[in-house]
């Protein structure tokens, strides 16, 4: 199943973001550290490239991500031109306190009250932008919820005479090119549940966990991994947690088991997990390119 999710208000949000981009100095792109490339909106890249704006990439929820994977991603992003990357938890005031200084490095000419540093906070839904804003401003200025697309309009905050923040709604993009990206976004709750089938998303997640983090699965649920495939993991979770359909003589409730697995991943209860690394990302893109070539019709030109 290909996953796509682009609510109507996001078209308006994109147009407004394009207008505001002309008036800011640095884009602060908030990413989920567990899937930083799959969760990087290509529209944000296009908008900032058009205006030649520098980008501070924040790998948020780093406390939930695999530390080794996060280190690899920081090296990957910091090699890119006009980009600076940092791993943070938006809930930690000590992490957020460093951000103004990092952004200043990308726009050293904006350093006084006559030329205040103007930052635009961007990212996909449910990535932690509102939490970041509230921590940064030290009061509740943005609604926070465990559902994507809570924020639906921009707001400008003069944090000090030298620093201006513009918060923007979370934006997805009209077409998610790679199915794996859609599943990673859905597993991390960046896509509304009306656009996905939880059981399919959980099976995708189980496949990654089985391949890269089998010890965490065993520690959490207490079943052996030998001989299991991704669907088998979900069935094993259902058995261990007593997920049974009522009146169906012991038939497993895989939908309930799916929500248990997804919730344990999203909350960090399973452990520190990353769904992609720079190496796995490159392997996925290479495989997709080969498949595209294989699916292309043969050239029949004489």
Q: Which of 138, 135, 105, 133 is nearest to 121 (CA)?
A: 133
Alpha-carbon span 132 to 136, nearest angstrom: 6
The per-residue pLDDT for 1 is 54
Residue 194 CA to residue 215 CA, distance in Å, equals 32
Tokens 């997990």 appear where? Answer: 273
Work out the number of other CB atoms within 10 angstroms of the CB of residue 290: 10
240: tokens are 């261990």
3 state SS for 81-96: CCEEEEECCCCCHHHH
Is residue 177 classed as helix, strand or coil in its secondary structure? coil
Q: Domain segments of the chain: what residues? A: 9-167, 197-285
Give the N- to C-terminal CA distance of the chain in Å, as an integer: 38
204: left (phi over 0), alpha (psi -120 to 50) or beta: alpha
Residue 52: count of CB within 10 angstroms of its CB? 7
Residue 164 in tokens? 């201006």
CATH 1.10.1580.10 is right for the domain spanning 197-285: yes
Token couple for 207 = 């496949």
CA 205 to chain CA centroid, Å, is 14
Q: Which two tokens stand for residue 222?
A: 């207490």
- Please tell me the total number of residues recorded for the chain in this structure: 302
Burial class (CB in 10 A: 0-12, 13-18, 19+), 210: middle
Please give the pLDDT value at position 14. 75
Chunked into runs of 10 residues, the chain (302 residues) has average pLDDT values of 57 80 95 97 91 96 98 98 97 96 93 89 91 91 54 79 90 86 93 82 97 97 95 97 88 96 97 98 93 77 48
Strand 163-167 relative to strand 83-87, pairing: unpaired
pTM over 0.85: yes
Which neighbouring-strand residues pair with 56? 28, 84
- DSSP, res 297: P
d(CA 67, CA 63): 8
Work out whether strand 54-60 and strand 155-160 pair parallel, antiparallel, or are unpaired: unpaired
CA 91 to mean position of chain CA atoms: 16
- The CATH H-level superfamily of 9-167 is P-loop containing nucleotide triphosphate hydrolases (3.40.50.300)
Burial of 278 (0-12, 13-18, 19+ CB in 10 A): middle
Chain centroid to CA 65: how far? Answer: 11
* Distant-in-sequence contacts of 133-140, Cβ < 8 A, 24+ apart: 133/157, 133/165, 133/167, 135/90, 135/91, 135/92, 135/93, 135/96, 136/96, 136/99, 136/165, 137/165, 138/93
């Amino acid at each position: 199943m290909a996953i796509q999710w682009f609510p109507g208000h996001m078209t308006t949000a994109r147009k407004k973001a394009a207008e505001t981009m002309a008036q800011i100095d640095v884009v602060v792109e908030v990413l989920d550290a567990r899937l930083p490339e799959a969760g990087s909106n290509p529209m944000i890249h296009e908008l900032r490239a058009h205006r030649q704006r520098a980008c501070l990439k924040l790998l948020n929820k780093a406390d939930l991500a695999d530390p080794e994977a996060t280190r690899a991603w920081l090296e990957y992003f910091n090699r890119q031109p006009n980009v600076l990357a940092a791993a943070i938890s938006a809930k930690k005031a000590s992490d957020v306190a460093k951000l103004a200084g990092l952004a200043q490095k990308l726009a050293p000419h904006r350093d006084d009250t006559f030329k205040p540093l103007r930052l635009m906070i961007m990212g996909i839904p449910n990535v932690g932008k509102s939490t970041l804003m509230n921590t940064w401003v030290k009061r509740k200025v943005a609604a926070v919820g465990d559902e994507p697309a809570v924020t639906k309009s921009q707001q400008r905050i003069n944090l000090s005479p030298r620093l201006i923040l513009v918060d923007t709604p979370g934006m997805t993009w009209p077409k998610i090119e790679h199915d794996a990206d859609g599943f990673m976004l859905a597993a991390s709750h960046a896509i509304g549940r009306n656009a996905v089938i939880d059981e399919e998303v959980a099976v995708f997640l189980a496949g990654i966990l089985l391949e890269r983090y089998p010890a965490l699965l065993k520690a959490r649920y207490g079943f052996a991994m030998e001989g299991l495939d991704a669907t088998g993991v979900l069935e094993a979770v259902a058995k261990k947690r007593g997920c049974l359909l009522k009146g169906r003589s012991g038939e497993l409730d895989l939908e309930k088991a799916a929500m248990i697995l997804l919730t344990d991943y999203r909350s960090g209860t399973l452990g520190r997990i990353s769904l992609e690394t720079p190496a796995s990302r490159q392997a996925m893109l290479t495989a997709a390119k080969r498949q595209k070539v294989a699916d292309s019709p043969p050239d029949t030109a004489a």
